[in-house]
Chains A and B, each alone.
Chain A
Amino acid sequence: MSLRLQAQSLACERDDRWLFQDLDLDIHAGEIVRVEGPNGSGKTTLLKILSGQLADYEGELFWNELPMREARDSFLSNLLYLGHAPGVKAALTPLENLAWYQALAGHGPDEESRYAALEEVGLGGFEDVPAGQLSAGQQRRVALARLLLTPRPLWVLDEPFTAIDRDGVAALEQRLVGHARRGGCVLVTTHHELSPCAELRRIRLGGGGDDVGV
């Protein structure tokens, strides 16, 4: 079974303004889909709709040919969503934060893989420091460690490059490409210019108007 996320004539209205209308999407395994557009053009909203968080839209969503309503459970167990807010508790250490996410994903406690994931994202030595004492970029890295910790085919990432330094950005870009090449799928919004590669596809959302080009 390969992964396929489809949207048919998707439309969303916010405050009497169409963010997008008649948006058809077909996202396959092995793709990096970048959603582009100016601030307020509905990138985050589109990502939230596509990750099944918002029900306030018109059109149909399909996961592996099944309507989203029927396939929700299977969809959620294939999805890894990282939102605007990193979802990292300031009072918990990175290790404890990841332990919760690991358990939510249905995995037993596995401290070794958590140490390994934190080491990979450059937080070696910060495992037991409360996340509130880490910098914004480091907190973002704690969230990004989930990409390594929880193997899920579909990644939906909302501005994952925020507050990450240059080396980190390059490594994360490499990781996204690697994920797509291994048969995963990445849906990402970012203002950072991704270096062109065969897997990359763009979706452009208009700046508040009706025009939506794919």
Chain B
Amino acid sequence: MSVSEGTLAKEVAVTREEPRGGLAVAVWATLKRDLVLLLRRRSEVLNPLVFFALVITLFPIGISPDPALLAAIAPGLLWVAALLAALLSLDSLFRADYDDGSLEQLLLTPQPLALLALAKVTVHWLLTGLPLALMAPILGIMLALPAGSYAVLAISLALGSASLSLIGAIGAALTVGLSRGGVLLSLLVLPLYIPVLIFGAGAVQAAILGDGVLAHLAILGALLALALSLAPLAIAASLRISING
């Protein structure tokens, strides 16, 4: 290491104003970094998917292989299992960043923290919620889910799990400073998951009964819009509280 005089001199001498134009660059870089990180630690990505598959596999064995009975409870089962699988993966959302000090660096950037946090949540959804939604129709076959409801199942899960990731991230941000925040995280987040669960499972049920599913999907979309606009701010505020503690 040697001191290179002169090169930085001009920039150092005066205090700088904020480079606002860099926001897109920063958000994109955060997205890319988190994607690369998760793809290199594949077990973390696979854990919730394996959990989802195992739970759904066990139900026909545990309850009854009767297709009529299974078809009646399939929408709820698939949704509850996917919800718990998503919850399982939440605890690690900010944990690694907190442990290695990159979270405090994230908080010290002049860029708006809410948008950077949104980038992290997007990655979480891309590698948890979206794969769960794509996997669900395959597992639906195992539960004798009636034909015609598979597409609705995948769409409702894709929409709903995005809300779940956003809401769950608030809880993850609040508990990141605690050494064993897992249980507390579930308690905080589960009550807020209930509306998403009701309308998600309701959409699939409606598809089976032949009712209109659009109303349910529209409400899921509205919940997502609400979470998308408010959750990033809440996540940012929660992260600041956690770092302060």
Contacts and interface: CB of A to CB of B under 8 A. Distances in A.
Is B truly associated with A?
A: yes
Contact of A175 (B3, B13, B19, B110): B3
B31 to A, nearest CB: 10
Nearest to B99: A85
Contact of A122 (B1, B30, B33, B108): B1
Contact of A96 (B1, B33, B104, B105): B33
A104 B26 contact: yes
A106 B107 CA distance: 14
Interface string B29-48: 11001001100110000000
B109 A104 contact: yes
A191 interface: no
A69 interface: no
A100 B22 contact: no
Contacts of A56: 244
Contacts of A151: 8, 11-12
Interface residues of B, number: 47
Contact of A120 (B1, B15, B26): B1
A76 B5 CA distance: 24
Contacts of B3: 171, 174-175, 177-178
A120 B4 CA distance: 9
Contact of A103 (B29, B99, B100): B29
Interface in A20-63: 51-56
A63 to B, nearest CB: 9
Contacts of A51: 108
Contact of A178 (B5, B26, B102): B5
A110 to B, nearest CB: 11
Of B4, B12, B14, B28, chain A has the most CB atoms within 10 Å of the CB of B12
Contacts of B105: 81, 83, 87, 101, 104
Contact of B110 (A85, A106, A144, A177): A106
Contact of B108 (A53, A86, A107): A53
Contacts of A108: 22, 25
B225 interface: no
A87 B111 contact: no
Given A120-B1, A182-B5, A107 B22 contact: yes
Nearest to A52: B108
A200 interface: no
A129 interface: no
A171 B3 CA distance: 7
A85 B1 CA distance: 21
A201 interface: no
Contact of A100 (B15, B29, B104, B243): B29
A79 B20 CA distance: 15
A175 B15 CA distance: 19
B21 interface: yes
Contact of A85 (B20, B100, B109, B116): B100
B84 interface: no
B122 to A, nearest CB: 16
B15 A74 contact: yes
Contacts of A94: none
12 contacts: A86-B100, A103-B25, A103-B28, A104-B29, A104-B106, A105-B19, A106-B20, A106-B111, A109-B29, A148-B4, A153-B14, A182-B13
Nearest 9 interchain pairs by C-beta: A106-B22, A85-B101, A103-B29, A171-B1, A106-B19, A87-B101, A178-B3, A77-B18, A77-B110
Interface of A: 1-3, 51-56, 64, 73-74, 76-79, 81, 83-92, 96, 99-109, 120-122, 144, 148, 151-153, 167-168, 171-172, 174-175, 177-179, 182-184
Given A1-B15, A85-B99, A182-B9, 18 more contacts: A78-B15, A79-B108, A86-B101, A87-B102, A91-B41, A102-B29, A104-B116, A105-B19, A106-B110, A107-B22, A107-B25, A120-B2, A152-B12, A153-B13, A174-B3, A179-B12, A183-B9, A183-B13
